[in-house]
Structure 1
């Protein structure tokens, strides 16, 4: 095992990485280099949800193919939902011993009988989890699976490393977006695009739902970073009216106007209604991600 202080100092290498995915992968490699003989998993929490998504996983060795065969899919293709116990313990930012072994790690996604077989294949000893946090909000987590008779030594080294990484993860965390549109097909499409990118995404059909949802989360730990509102919604008031109500409560709200109507008429609407950006339909994935990035980064 390399020197603990050198391991901690390695976090400076993460500061100039361009994306959160790159940060997660680099963190995984650094942890794997430090805990050479163990399984290391790095995961990301989708903002505004309890969903955990794997971003890095190494150290399984030759048993990985057997595990995938038993599960019928790769870990990277599975979304895990955080347990109630984890919601209480993980925000503390300290190593958390998973007494329930692999079954607890898999959060019920893997049958207990299968979990026991996997533990034997791995010669599993103990599993620890520790979260990346911001103001006691979980942003993601690291799992270290110790095999044979190995155990977590010098937990303070891991805590300090994770504390430093947490700041970098917080700086690069994906936004949480509220999307208003009266067409279900468009709502579903945007949700799938942003969900795949690791964004938090809530979709609503009516203007009053957009206002209620935004205000509900306004003072919470996962407030919305951006709102994408169709200006014209059938059976309800649209994005312009929703924006007016939201901006009264949150003058700094980052709102994006969206419509399939002519761009010229839309320019006047969005400039006079407090929107920071506009997005004309139909739009590409790059246009969607680009406009959200611009309002998020100010």
Structure 2
């Protein structure tokens, strides 16, 4: 069971993702609504995995990935993006994300990405 922080500015998407993760046997330890909040909470919570939306207010997901990786080079981060953000996904992976999942979320793909990130 992984301890996971879910980061997305849309509350309904956080709820969907949390439901998938909890049903899949994981624990959601915190939900952040932007990258800045995620970076701050990562310092104190040190979750096993972070699911990170790309497009958010205050601090974008890719910037948050870079900041979290400065704090913890071993951080396991899975990006979440809408269709058509291929260039941003590539940038996220280059910034240190382990995998990505596309919205709308598919349960099997979400759990596969989490499992992959958790063993790495």
State the TM-score, normalizing by the size of structure 1.
Answer: 0.38
Deviation of 1:263 after TM superposition, in Å, equals 4.5
* Local SS of the residue matching 1:252: coil
Question: Counterparts in 2 of 1:278-297, with a 5 A limit?
Answer: 278-297=100-119
2:33 aligns with one of 202, 205, 214: 205
Is the CA contact 1:258–1:279 (under 8 Å) kept in the aligned structure 2? Answer: yes
In structure 2, what is the Cα distance between the partners aligned to 1:276 and 1:290?
Answer: 12
Is it true that 1:252 corresponds to 2:74 in the alignment? yes
In structure 1, what is the Cα distance between the partners aligned to 2:78 and 2:24?
Answer: 19
Deviation of 1:275 after TM superposition, in Å, equals 0.8
Deviation of 1:271 after TM superposition, in Å, equals 2.5
Deviation of 1:204 after TM superposition, in Å, equals 1.1
Is it true that 1:275 corresponds to 2:97 in the alignment? yes
Cα displacement string for residues 126-159 of structure 1 (whole angstroms, at most 9, x for unaligned residues): xxxxxxxxxxxxxxxxxxxxxxxxxxxxxxxxxx
In structure 2, what is the Cα distance between the partners aligned to 1:292 and 1:232?
Answer: 20
In structure 2, what is the Cα distance between the partners aligned to 1:192 and 1:296?
Answer: 18
Alignment match, 2:53: 230
Is the CA contact 2:7–2:31 (under 8 Å) kept in the aligned structure 1? Answer: yes
* Local SS of the residue matching 1:259: strand
Residue ranges of structure 2 left out of the alignment (5+ in a row): none
In structure 1, what is the Cα distance between the partners aligned to 2:69 and 2:25?
Answer: 27
Residue 273 and residue 196 in structure 1: after superposition, are their counterparts in 2 closer, same or farther (change >3 A)?
A: same
Is the CA contact 2:49–2:75 (under 8 Å) kept in the aligned structure 1? Answer: yes
Aligned-residue CA RMSD in angstroms? 1.4
In structure 1, what is the Cα distance between the partners aligned to 2:22 and 2:99?
Answer: 21
How many positions carry a matched residue from both structures? Answer: 119
Is the CA contact 2:81–2:89 (under 8 Å) kept in the aligned structure 1? Answer: no
In structure 1, what is the Cα distance between the partners aligned to 2:87 and 2:64?
Answer: 19
Deviation of 1:181 after TM superposition, in Å, equals 0.5
Deviation of 1:206 after TM superposition, in Å, equals 1.4
Is the CA contact 2:65–2:92 (under 8 Å) kept in the aligned structure 1? Answer: no
State the TM-score, normalizing by the size of structure 2.
Answer: 0.90
Question: Counterparts in 2 of 1:145-160, with a 5 A limit?
Answer: none
- The structure with more radius of gyration: 1
The structure with higher relative contact order (CA 8 Å, sep 6+) is 2
In structure 2, what is the Cα distance between the partners aligned to 1:191 and 1:271?
Answer: 23
Residue ranges of structure 1 left out of the alignment (5+ in a row): 1-173, 219-223
In structure 1, what is the Cα distance between the partners aligned to 2:108 and 2:12?
Answer: 19
In structure 2, what is the Cα distance between the partners aligned to 1:190 and 1:203?
Answer: 10
In structure 2, what is the Cα distance between the partners aligned to 1:287 and 1:268?
Answer: 18
